[in-house]
Amino acid sequence: MPLVLNVNGAKHEVDVDPATPLLWVIRDSLGLTGTKFSCGIAQCGACTLHVDGQPVRSCSFPVSLAVGKTIKTIEGVSSDGNHPLQRAWKELDAPQCGYCQSGMIMSALALLERKPNPTDADIDAAVTNACRCSSYHRVRKAIHLAADLMKAEA
Amino acid sequence: MSGPSVNRRDVLAGAGAFVLGFYLPPRVSQAQTAPAHGAAWYTEPAVPEINAWIVVEPDDTVVIRIAQTELGQGVWTSNAMMVAEELQCDWSKVKPIYASANRDAREKAPAWTLEVPGDGATDPNGGGEPTFGNRDRRGGFGIPDSLYRRMRTNAASSVKDGRYYLQLAGAEARERLMLAAANEWRVPVDEITAKDSVLTHAKSGRSTTYGKVAALAARTPHPNPQAIALKPPEMWTLMGTEQKNLDIPMKVTGETKYAIDVRLPGMKWAAVKTCPVYGGDVKSFDAAAIRGKPGVRSVHQFPIPDPKLTRGRVFSGGIGVIADTWYQAKTALEALPVEWTVPPERAAFTTANMRAALTAALDAPGRVRVNTGDVDAVFARADRVVEATYSTPYLPRARMEPGNATVLVTDDRVDIWIGDQSPQETRFSAAQITGIPEENVYLHMCHLGGGYGRNGNGPQAEQALMLANANRGTPIHLLWTREEDFIGTTYRAMGMARLKAALDADGWPLALDVRTSMQQDGFGPDASFDVASRYYVPNYRFSNHTTNFHVPVGTRRGVGQAAHEFYRESFIDELAHAAGKDPYRYRRELISRTELPFKADMIKALDMAAEMSGWGTPLPRGTVRSIALEERGVETGNSATISAMVHTVSVSRDGRVKLERVDVAHESGFGLVNPLSVKKQIEGQITWFYNDAMHQACNIDNGAIAENNFNRFSISRIDEDPLQINIQFFPTAHWLVGMGHDRGTSVQAAIANAVFQVTGKRFRDLPLRQHDLTWS
CATH topology of domain A3-76: Ubiquitin-like (UB roll) (3.10.20)
* Among B429, B447, B479, residue at a domain's last position: B479
pLDDT per position as a tens digit, B721-737? 999 999 999 999 999 99
Residues B116 and B184 in one domain: yes
pLDDT of residue B24: 35
Rounded to a whole number of angstroms, the distance from the CA of B693 to the nearest CA of chain A is 15
pLDDT of residue B135: 54
DSSP B148: T
The answer as to whether B637 is a domain residue is: yes
In terms of CA atoms, which chain B residue is nearest residue A128? B717
Query: Where would I find the beta strands (DSSP E) of B186-294?
Result: 192-195, 198-201, 206-209, 268-274, 281-285
A43, A132, A136: best to mutate for the B interface, most B CBs within 10 A: A132
pLDDT of residue A42: 98
Chain A hits for B747, CB-CB cut-off 8 Å, are none
Residues B312 and B208 in one domain: no
Residues B378 and B430 in one domain: no
Residues B411 and B388 in one domain: no
pLDDT band at B494 (very low <50, low <70, confident <90, very high): very high
**Among B44-53, B613-622, B727-736, the least confident range:** B44-53
Q: Which of A20, A39, A125 lies nearest to residue B482, judging by beta carbons?
A: A39
In terms of CA atoms, which chain A residue is nearest residue B398? A132
Using an 8 Å Cβ cutoff, are B685 and B666 in contact? no
Q: What is the residue extent of each domain of chain A? A: 3-76, 84-153
The answer as to whether B46 is a domain residue is: no
Report percent pLDDT > 90 for chain B: 87
Angstrom distance (rounded) from CA B16 to CA B18 = 5
Q: Is A3 in the B-facing interface, judged by CB distances under 8 Å?
A: no
Residues B335 and B218 in one domain: no
pLDDT per position as a tens digit, B499-527? 999 999 999 999 999 999 999 999 999 99
Q: Is the pLDDT of residue B637 over 70?
A: yes
pTM value?
A: 0.94
Residues in contact with B458: Cβ distance below 8 Å, sequence separation at least 6, in sequence order:
B310, B315, B403, B485, B488, B489, B490, B552
The answer as to whether B610 is a domain residue is: yes
Chain A hits for B451, CB-CB cut-off 8 Å, are 97
Q: Is the pLDDT of residue B631 over 80?
A: yes
Q: Is B327 in the A-facing interface, judged by CB distances under 8 Å?
A: yes
Mean pLDDT of chain B: 92
Q: Is the pLDDT of residue B137 over 80?
A: no
CA distances from B599 to B312, B437, B586 (A): 38, 51, 14
Residues in contact with B673: Cβ distance below 8 Å, sequence separation at least 6, in sequence order:
B78, B81, B82, B159, B163, B239, B240
The answer as to whether B47 is a domain residue is: no
How many domains are contained in chain B? 3
A135 against B43, higher pLDDT: A135
Interface of B with A in 65-124 (CB under 8 A): 71-74
pLDDT of residue B3: 33
Chain B hits for A132, CB-CB cut-off 8 Å, are 397-400, 450, 452, 715
Tell me whether the CATH fold assigned to A3-76 matches the one assigned to A84-153.
Answer: no
Query: Where would I find the beta strands (DSSP E) of B108-157?
Result: none
pLDDT band at B636 (very low <50, low <70, confident <90, very high): confident
B516 against B35, higher pLDDT: B516
Q: Is A8 in the B-facing interface, judged by CB distances under 8 Å?
A: no
Instruction: List the CATH number of the domain containing B167.
Output: 3.30.365.10
Q: Is the pLDDT of residue B16 over 80?
A: no
Q: Is A77 in the B-facing interface, judged by CB distances under 8 Å?
A: yes
Residues B432 and B390 in one domain: no
B598-627 average pLDDT score: 98
CA distances from B107 to B100, B146, B495, B668 (A): 11, 6, 43, 36
Angstrom distance (rounded) from CA B314 to CA B170 = 42
pLDDT band at A55 (very low <50, low <70, confident <90, very high): very high
Q: Is B683 in the A-facing interface, judged by CB distances under 8 Å?
A: yes
pLDDT of residue B156: 83
pLDDT per position as a tens digit, B417-469? 999 999 999 999 999 999 999 999 999 999 999 999 876 678 999 999 999 99
Put simply, the answer to whether B448 touches A97 (Cβ < 8 Å) is yes
Q: Is B34 in the A-facing interface, judged by CB distances under 8 Å?
A: no
Using an 8 Å Cβ cutoff, are A44 and A60 in contact? no
Q: Which of A74, A90, A98 lies nearest to residue B72, judging by beta carbons?
A: A98
In terms of CA atoms, which chain A residue is nearest residue B690? A134
Interface of A with B in 102-131 (CB under 8 A): 102, 105, 120, 123-125, 127-131
Rounded to a whole number of angstroms, the distance from the CA of B267 to the nearest CA of chain A is 12
The answer as to whether B775 is a domain residue is: no
Residues in contact with B538: Cβ distance below 8 Å, sequence separation at least 6, in sequence order:
B372, B373, B510, B511
End-to-end CA distance of chain A: 44
Q: Which of B252, B257, B261 lies nearest to residue A90, judging by beta carbons?
A: B252
In terms of CA atoms, which chain B residue is nearest residue A137? B721
The answer as to whether B108 is a domain residue is: yes
The answer as to whether B484 is a domain residue is: no
Q: Does ipTM surpass 0.90 in this model?
A: yes
Q: Is the pLDDT of residue B34 over 70?
A: no
B472-498 average pLDDT score: 97
pLDDT of residue B144: 84
Q: Is A40 in the B-facing interface, judged by CB distances under 8 Å?
A: yes
Residues B541 and B436 in one domain: no
- Ordered DSSP codes for B249-279: HHHTTT---BGGG---TT-EEEEEEE-SBTT
Using an 8 Å Cβ cutoff, are B105 and B447 in contact? no
B565-573 average pLDDT score: 98
* Among B435, B455, B479, residue at a domain's last position: B479
Rounded to a whole number of angstroms, the distance from the CA of A109 to the nearest CA of chain B is 12
Put simply, the answer to whether B400 touches A36 (Cβ < 8 Å) is yes
pLDDT per position as a tens digit, B671-684? 999 999 999 999 99
Put simply, the answer to whether A102 touches B254 (Cβ < 8 Å) is yes
Structural domain that includes position B738: 351-395+491-770
CA distances from A58 to A12, A50, A70, B308 (A): 17, 9, 14, 39
B718, B725, B727, B741: best to mutate for the A interface, most A CBs within 10 A: B718
Put simply, the answer to whether B711 touches A44 (Cβ < 8 Å) is no
Using an 8 Å Cβ cutoff, are B28 and B36 in contact? no
pLDDT of residue B44: 54
pLDDT of residue B129: 87
Residues B384 and B438 in one domain: no
Q: Is B293 in the A-facing interface, judged by CB distances under 8 Å?
A: no
Helices B746-759, B561-579: inter-axial angle, 10-degree rounding: 30
Angstrom distance (rounded) from CA B629 to CA A115 = 41
pLDDT of residue B37: 34
Residues B655 and B551 in one domain: yes
Residues B624 and B649 in one domain: yes
Q: Which of B253, B479, B723 lies nearest to residue A120, judging by beta carbons?
A: B723
Residues B245 and B364 in one domain: no
CATH number belonging to the domain at A84-153, selected among 3.10.129.10, 3.40.190.10, 1.10.150.120, 2.60.40.10? 1.10.150.120
Rounded to a whole number of angstroms, the distance from the CA of B747 to the nearest CA of chain A is 15
pLDDT per position as a tens digit, B228-270? 999 999 999 999 999 999 999 999 999 999 999 999 999 999 9
Chain A hits for B74, CB-CB cut-off 8 Å, are 96
Annotate B677-707 with b (16+ C-beta within 10 A) or e (fewer). bbbbbbbbbbbbbbbbbbbbbbbbeebbbbb
Chain B hits for A77, CB-CB cut-off 8 Å, are 253
Residues B547 and B431 in one domain: no
Angstrom distance (rounded) from CA B558 to CA B495 = 14
pLDDT band at B638 (very low <50, low <70, confident <90, very high): confident
Closest CA to B368 of B182, B199, B165, B543: B543
Using an 8 Å Cβ cutoff, are B397 and B489 in contact? yes
Q: Is A99 in the B-facing interface, judged by CB distances under 8 Å?
A: yes
Put simply, the answer to whether A20 touches B451 (Cβ < 8 Å) is no
Q: Which of B252, B294, B450 lies nearest to residue A17, judging by beta carbons?
A: B294
Angstrom distance (rounded) from CA A84 to CA B147 = 43
Q: Is B688 in the A-facing interface, judged by CB distances under 8 Å?
A: yes
Angle at A30 between CA B470 and CA A93, to 5 degrees: 95
pLDDT band at B136 (very low <50, low <70, confident <90, very high): low
pLDDT of residue A125: 98
Count CB pairs under 8 A between chains A and B: 169
Chain A hits for B402, CB-CB cut-off 8 Å, are 37-38
Q: Is the pLDDT of residue B488 over 70?
A: yes
Chain A hits for B685, CB-CB cut-off 8 Å, are 134
* Among B416, B445, B479, residue at a domain's last position: B479
Chain B hits for A123, CB-CB cut-off 8 Å, are 718
B132 against B207, higher pLDDT: B207
pLDDT band at A75 (very low <50, low <70, confident <90, very high): very high
Rounded to a whole number of angstroms, the distance from the CA of A15 to the nearest CA of chain B is 12
Q: Is B676 in the A-facing interface, judged by CB distances under 8 Å?
A: yes
B727-750 average pLDDT score: 95
Angstrom distance (rounded) from CA B223 to CA B306 = 48
B171-194 average pLDDT score: 98
